[in-house]
Amino acid sequence: MDILVVGGGGREHAILRKLAESPRCGRLYCAPGNGGISRDAECFDVKADDIDGMVELAKKLAVDLVFVAPDDPLVAGMADALEAEGIAAFGPRKNAAILEGSKVFSKHLMKKYGIPTAGYEVFDQPQEALAYIRRQNTYPAVIKADGLALGKGVILCDTYEEACDAVKSIMEDRIFGASGSRVVVEEFLTGPEVSVLAFTDGKTIRPMVSAKDHKRAFDGDMGPNTGGMGTVSPNPYYDEEAAAFCMEKIFRPTVAAMAAEGRPFKGCLFFGLMLTPNGPKVIEYNCRFGDPEAQVVLPRLKTDLIDILCAIRDERLDELSIDWSDEACACVVMASGGYPASYKKGLPISGLNPQGQRSDAVIYHAGTRYEDGKFLTNGGRVLGVTALADSLDAALDRAYDAVEQICFQDAHYRKDIGRPAAKGERRL
């Protein structure tokens, strides 16, 4: 099969490298891609959210499948546009991608179908939101922009003054654009966070192995939220009891709810969960592979990914057995100095071979470009340095050993990825 992958980050690099392992894989293309991806696939300068341009590219290349990886084009309807031209697409249609595209929709869906989540209220006027927060007088207050916000649309507020600033920024200053026309004010939950991705064909759901993301920029979970500074799999806090509960009360009910609403979800469904003292609850849904969760989940996948994609396309996922490696996987993100705020681009990267790889780890490129035989920084998150091993501690050691051999000016990375999790006694 000839496949076009839409996107240009570390997630897309992980997807491409897993696809390339399949004996069924023919030509691989990516748009727009990045420096590292260009060493593994032919890249085209079409923006990931350019629906018309991507449809034309897919037709020109005569690909058998388009794997739409990022959230923006899915929420905007890229899968619909491709399928309307007779081109198979992996990823939910627009009416199902709303599960990530609107937090208001997802909260109302969970409430309607009894799926465990935090208590909440929805507001379209800033003063009403602030009056509610003042009456509740419970902190931290969780304020979420309704729409997509590059993973930065959730603000925790420890005081009323911080809540005022957050509501003003989202609803009046529109720092997230139209995504801030409504806000969800949500109950603050406590407990370990878990990421569980799942394959689904709209009827059957097959959860993948668990992962733990690290969203904060600095060690000790300090600093601003980012797109993710590193991940580990498995998540030691997610045991068999939690997995069974989630399958019965969250995963299957979500797929059934979307089908009942006339919005069947086909693709990768991401569950952001909190293991609270009152049981697992949904924090968020995403309509695609997480980044950097994909970088630790896909290396553990033993079943042919193309076989899975075809089973989802044909709605016969129930016929396929999906197997996973028992190894642990760790990914440490190397970011540009200043990220997630302003940062420099175009800085040379050393410590990689001509293919942008190393012998001691797998390097998933995110914000890089390849120019005159050199890899240069070209984004906030630059590289995902990834390693597999028999234990989480060993995988982390391997990843960090490789990180220390890679250099670019002002490189920043967290030094505590997975370290508390590695001490956990439970694993799945």
| The predicted structure's pLDDT at residue 422 | 56
Q: Which residue has the tokens 């079943």?
A: 303
Residue 423 pLDDT grade (very low, low, confident, very high; cuts 50, 70, 90): low
Q: Provide CATH code, domain 193-422.
A: 3.30.470.20
Q: In what order do the strands lie in the sheet with 279-286?
A: 205-207, 193-201, 266-276, 279-286
Task: Name the pairing type of β-strands 154-157 and 3-7.
Answer: unpaired
Cα 196 to chain center, whole Å? 10
The Cα–Cα gap between 182 and 146 comes to 5
**Are 31 and 48 contacting, i.e. CB atoms less than 8 angstroms apart?**
yes
CA-to-CA separations, 426 to 238, 265, 393, 422, in angstroms, rounded: 7, 31, 14, 10
Q: Would you say domain 3-93 falls under CATH 3.40.50.20? A: yes
Q: Provide CATH code, domain 119-186.
A: 3.30.1490.20
Cis check for the bond before 140: say yes or no (omega within 30 of 0): yes
| The predicted structure's pLDDT at residue 224 | 86
Residue type, 230: G
Residue ranges of domains in the chain: 3-93, 119-186, 193-422
pLDDT digits over 129-181, tens only?
999 999 999 999 999 999 999 878 999 999 999 999 999 999 999 999 999 99
Q: Is the model's pLDDT at 215 over the cut of 70?
A: yes
Q: Which residues contact 336 (CB under 8 A, 6 or more apart)?
A: 343, 344, 345, 347, 367, 377, 379, 380, 381, 382, 410, 411, 412
Cis check for the bond before 340: say yes or no (omega within 30 of 0): yes
Q: Which residues contact 310 (CB under 8 A, 6 or more apart)?
A: none
Residue 419 pLDDT grade (very low, low, confident, very high; cuts 50, 70, 90): confident
pLDDT digits over 83-135, tens only?
999 999 999 999 999 999 999 999 999 999 999 999 999 999 999 999 999 99
Cis check for the bond before 32: say yes or no (omega within 30 of 0): yes
Q: What phi, psi does 5 have (nearest 5°)?
A: -100, 130
Q: Which residues sit opposite 369 in a β-bridge?
A: 376
Q: Is the model's pLDDT at 426 over the cut of 60?
A: no
pLDDT digits over 301-339, tens only?
999 999 999 999 999 999 999 999 999 999 999 999 999
- Tokens (6 digits) for 327: 């190894």
Mean pLDDT score across all residues of the chain: 96
| The predicted structure's pLDDT at residue 428 | 33
| The predicted structure's pLDDT at residue 421 | 60
**Are 30 and 7 contacting, i.e. CB atoms less than 8 angstroms apart?**
yes
Burial of 377 (0-12, 13-18, 19+ CB in 10 A): buried
| The predicted structure's pLDDT at residue 425 | 36
